[in-house]
């Protein structure tokens, strides 16, 4: 269970820049999880009910959602890597505790795996469009079958991201809480 919510700037002994980063982390995670959940739901629906009549519409909707999510993830990850994680690494490097590096490595690897599924989905979307052009006489039946498989890739990527966020919260939130508690005790 995370406690970042209890560290509100107005309730702290001394609000800090790190507190604002911890709050940003939680808020961005909540928004990203909502987007992942919505995209996952849409991709599961597409894989279970894709028919030849709406393949292009569903494909476009899934592609837009995946592209937007990938952009949001890129921005979030860049912020984490450039601003948040260096602070955590520096702070906990000074303490005599087991290293957090294996957990960070695991977080990075499952994130990369999720992105591979998203990339495969985007590539397969091109193949589906090509199949639609070639399959005009069959009313897009082949493309609808490919859509089911492709949507499953997107679903898998979303499920991995959901697990990634959960693991990141289990690893990172306690670390941020510890820093925030130390800051609060130091200045109270």
Write the pLDDT tens digit of every residue in 156-173: 999 999 999 999 898 889
pLDDT at residue 52, as a whole number: 61
pLDDT above 70: residue 11: no
Mean pLDDT, residues 12-25 taken together: 80
Poorest-pLDDT segment among 19-33, 81-95, 160-174: 81-95
Q: Where is 28: in which H helix or E strand?
A: helix 17-49
Rg (C-alpha) for the chain, rounded Å, is 21
Q: Where is 8: in which H helix or E strand?
A: none
pLDDT at residue 15, as a whole number: 65
Domain that holds residue 134: 4-186
Poorest-pLDDT segment among 59-63, 146-150, 163-167: 146-150
The total number of structural domains in the chain stands at 1
The rounded distance, in Å, linking the Cα atoms of 135 and 141 is 7
Three-state DSSP state, 12: coil
Residue 15 backbone dihedrals phi, psi, to 5 degrees: -60, 145
Poorest-pLDDT segment among 23-27, 96-100, 179-183: 96-100
pLDDT above 70: residue 127: yes
Confidence bin at 98 (pLDDT 50/70/90): low
The rounded distance, in Å, linking the Cα atoms of 144 and 150 is 10
- DSSP labels for 38-104? HHHHHHHHHHHH--TTSHHHHHHHHHHHHHHHHHHHHHHHHHIIIIIHHHHHHHHHSSSS--SHHHH
CA 145 distance to own-chain centroid: 27
pLDDT above 90: residue 74: yes
CB 158 within 8 A of CB 39: yes
For residues 116-137, one letter each, b for 16 or more C-beta atoms within 10 angstroms of the residue's C-beta and e for the rest, the string is ebbeebbebbeebbebbeebee
CB 173 within 8 A of CB 2: yes
């Amino acid at each position: 269970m995370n406690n970042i919510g209890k560290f509100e700037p107005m309730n702290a002994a001394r609000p800090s820049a790190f507190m604002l980063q911890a709050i940003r982390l939680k808020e961005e995670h909540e928004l990203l999880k909502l987007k992942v959940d919505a995209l996952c739901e849409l991709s599961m629906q597409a894989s279970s009910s894709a028919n030849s009549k709406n393949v292009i519409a569903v494909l476009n909707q899934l592609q837009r959602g995946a592209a937007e999510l990938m952009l949001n993830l890129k921005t979030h990850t860049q912020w984490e890597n450039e601003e948040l994680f260096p602070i955590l690494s520096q702070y906990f490097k000074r303490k005599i505790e087991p290293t957090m590096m294996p957990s960070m490595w695991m977080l990075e690897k499952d994130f990369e795996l999720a992105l591979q599924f998203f990339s495969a989905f985007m590539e397969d979307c091109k193949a589906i469009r090509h199949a639609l052009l070639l399959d005009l006489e069959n009313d897009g039946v082949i493309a609808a079958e490919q859509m089911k498989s492709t949507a499953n890739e997107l679903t898998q990527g979303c499920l991995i991201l959901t697990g990634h966020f959960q693991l990141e919260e289990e690893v990172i939130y306690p670390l941020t809480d510890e820093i925030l508690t130390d800051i609060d005790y130091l200045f109270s």
